[in-house]
Amino acid sequence: MLLKDSLQDTAAWFGLLEAEQQMRVQRDISVTQYAAGAIIERKGEKAYAWMGVLAGLIKVSVGNQDGKMASLTGVPPGGWIGEGSLLKRESRKYDVVALRDSSIARLPEHTFNWLLDNSIPFNRYLLHQLNERVGQFIGKAEYDRLLAADARVARCLAELFNPLLYPAKSMRLDITQEEIGYLARTSRQRTNQALRTLEAAHLLKVEYGAVQVLDLAGLRQYGL
């Protein structure tokens, strides 16, 4: 697949740009392949690019010197992350790890800033994304503390289908029970039980190595 076609499928902001701006993005962007388990970005490193998931699945996590880890969010194809670090010109405050073989695009900082200076639609898109991201993390902090495992799995999956942050064209996502467990912080066995409960409630359908969402609104409200 050509890079332009890939961006049109996995970068909602790309279609908002003028032809000249699209050409510069295609010229400056780079794409790197990562195997499952590979570290894509390390906490503390200088942020030098805006990152997008063209294929695969990644997680954003933090840890401490004792080895304790906490997953902040998962990012499926179509998700772009790291704009906050670029805007504040600071080092990354989290690790980015490939949960499965992934294709990662990087838009250099200078091109990112050029788009900010030259595209009102890009600015508007980024403003909406930042606002949605804040809401996502506030909600996650709430449900991690208050909800049972079934509801945490439901909310975790609902996050991955956020139409603004991850504008997928399908309600089916390639993701294993183990990967869901990493993101929801539940054991594989408990994740399996939660998925069966949600399937019985007709909110989703569990497939081999994938999940088909049937009722996104229901997933978001589950457990309230």
pLDDT at residue 218 greater than cutoff 60:
yes
Residue 133 binned pLDDT confidence (cut-offs 50, 70, 90): confident
Using one digit for the tens of pLDDT, what is the confidence trace for 37-53? Answer: 999 999 999 999 999 99
* Distance (Å, whole) CA 124 – CA 52: 18
CATH 3.30.1330.10 is held by the domain 3-132: no
Instruction: Determine the pLDDT at residue 29.
Output: 96
- What count of other Cβ atoms lies within 10 Å of the Cβ of residue 180? 23
**Of 52-56, 66-70, 113-117, the least confident:** 66-70
Q: Is domain 148-221 given the CATH code 3.40.50.300 in the classification?
A: no
Q: Look at residue 68 and give its three-state secondary structure.
A: coil
Q: What is the pLDDT of residues 84-93, one digit of tens each?
A: 999 998 888 8
Q: Note the pLDDT tens digit of each residue in 139-183.
A: 666 666 556 889 889 988 998 888 888 876 788 989 999 999 988
pLDDT at 14 over 90: yes
Residue 68 pLDDT grade (very low, low, confident, very high; cuts 50, 70, 90): low
Question: Please, which pLDDT band fits residue 66 given cuts at 50, 70 and 90?
Answer: low
Looking from the CA of 114 toward its CB, the CA atoms found within 13 Å total: 14
With 0.75 as the threshold, say if the pTM is over it.
yes
Say yes or no to pLDDT of 30 above 90. Answer: yes
Can you give the pLDDT at residue 20?
Answer: 96
Q: Where are the alpha helices (DSSP H) in the chain?
A: 3-10, 19-28, 83-88, 109-118, 120-146, 149-160, 177-184, 188-200, 216-221
Distance CA 213, CA 220 (A): 11
**pLDDT at residue number 221:** 87
Instruction: Give 174's contacts (C-beta < 8 A, 6+ positions apart).
Output: 57, 100, 209, 210
Quick one: pLDDT band at residue 109, thresholds 50, 70, 90?
Answer: very high
Domain ranges of the chain: 3-132, 148-221
pLDDT value, residue 146: 55
